[in-house]
Chains A and B, each alone.
Chain A
Amino acid sequence: MSEGNGFGRRKRVTFRTADGKLLHLSSKQAYFTNPADSTVQIGPTVLDGTRTDTSQVRNLHVAYSGNYDLILRDFIDAVIVQRLSSQGGELIVARSSRADLQGLVLWRGPHHEVASWLPPVAEAEGIDPIERFEGLRFLDSPEGLVIRAAGPDLYVRPLETVTDIDGVGTLYLYGADQALAKVPTWAGHGVGVGELWRSTTRNSEASAERTLFTVATPTVVATLAPAPDQDAPFTDQLRFIDSLDGLSMAGSA
């Protein structure tokens, strides 16, 4: 991921995912103008069956450094209750001045920050915000934030990396090893980087239909969600996909 305001306008970008891999995107025509954010799952390497699996995982959100400032200031009217130096960055605990709004705990490095929401004050008794980052080491660089487990008992797994493509929509990116279930057994339409399918879903009878495009390469599966005001025949979205000449992930976790 790259710094917020200085991201620039490029036809080729590289994001480093939380497990240390490098995610490359390039296009013959389109520009990548926005930074990426990602959701990362932390969990125990051995599930002993004594508690539900899902109750033992933590999901953290990684974005560029300063991303949450506007939210703290304008939307939860936050009061900073703790600010500590930690791992080359800062650990920040913020509570809302309103009892009904959630607080935040952040680790903020020079380039990126990791966030976890806290319950509203009334429900926060017994919850230690700093436990959210327990057992984790953060290695920040302009390309992205790598999260390492301090010991062998935890795993770090990026769930998704997301970036907006101006005028096109939102691109959700997954490592192919985590997203095989998104790839059908039948062939997609051949594109420069791999194969392409479309899908149309809706939540319920009351919901509007939503079209998604899935592009699979040997190392990355991407879902493109068109911007809400876009409709068939999705010319801008298909032109963007057609222009991709690089969509890959490399490196070991």
Chain B
Amino acid sequence: MSRAGQPHVALPATLAGLQAAIAAGTLTPGDALARQQAALADDRWHCLTHVFPPASDTPGHLPLAGIGLAHKDIFVIGGRQPHCGTAQAVPIEDPGTPAIARLEAAGATTLATLTMAEFACGATGENPNVERPVNPLDAAAAVGGSSSGSAVAVAAGLCYGALGTDTAGSVRIPAATCGVFGFKPGADVIPTVGTHPLAPTLDTLGLLTRSVDDARILFGVLCPTHPAPMRAVSGPWRLRLALEHPRIGLPAPAITAALRAFAHELNGAPAPEVLLRELPELTRLADIILHTEAASVHAQALRTGAPVLGALTRAITVPGSTLPATWYHHARRDQSHWRERIVQAWLGDCDVLLTPLLPDSVPDWDAVDTRSPTFAPKALLGLFAWTGFVNYLGLPAASLPIGTDAVGRPISVQILARPGHEHLLLAFAAQAERLRHGDAGLVPHPPALAASLSA
């Protein structure tokens, strides 16, 4: 029972639903927040790294009043320095993170910080400094990274949305493993001030939510002046589908079938299929930048041993310390030419390009944990085969669950759009979500929200 003696109204599964309930007066922002904060006490998924004390009341008229968010532990928040998946605070000179300040100015409450791969180095949540995060969908399934806690907290219902960072897939991969929406705007759309860098010219802030509309609401707060699309966004959609990876071939049959059926449904006919011949070269260029810039960020630690870097961080930074500077300069020099050419070739006559997000089913944790006796390198490499080149091109991208495989793990599509077409991408994803999932969102019954009923 509530303090007023009224039976509790269930907390809606989506941010949009909670906004509507607060607007209708069936929930107050204070009650909604109190129950969200109480739910944080049961972090059986090992995704929280710090819980902030309850905030003072926020004005109820603000659009995000009563909405609890949590963010990857890579941002300066309220004077707290991030830990970046390490045991200590990592100093950042910026006094705050403007993206989080914008969300809070709109009424959102920052509840907690979330676990991550050490210094954002890794395609999973593997990190020797913290407990392994648990996938709320299936405890045996891997949790992608590096924004692992962001995906887990959203899927579990411990927050209504989370910021992550994406340098080579670190928002989209965890979203795909946990069955939530992961949205990475184009390069420089959301300022990275206040964020500990991995590779500064590739780093992008992104959102993880339980519905596309939730991401649209948060993106609207983060980028209120972002240009609207030049054409109507209700479809019919002009799609292209790239299923075959030039290096690893077609995805698993279940994923191939799911993506073809999805594209057919949204396109109104079988979608034209294309081969992205340039993908391996773009991935090579992206990796040169990633390794080189990460080595530069961590140069002092590599030399002095302080702070001690974990094996996965060193696996990126040590090779990056050996790459010839000319490789890096050529990769940076050619970046805008590649973007121009690829946007014309891949997206010149379509609204969005669809690709697999993962080439195979979401793997077991033990297959992608490098410390496991059953570690399978191919499974780990598959996690980021389709993502790194997107950051090199600076394209907006998203990961959207469109079905499940034979064991109930999510199958996700990657959606790519032209630079500046974030709203078009989100409109497409929202329509696709409604077709596939109705209005209940992608996770209709988050376990932590069910528990919050009795809080």
Are the chains A and B members of one assembly? Answer: no
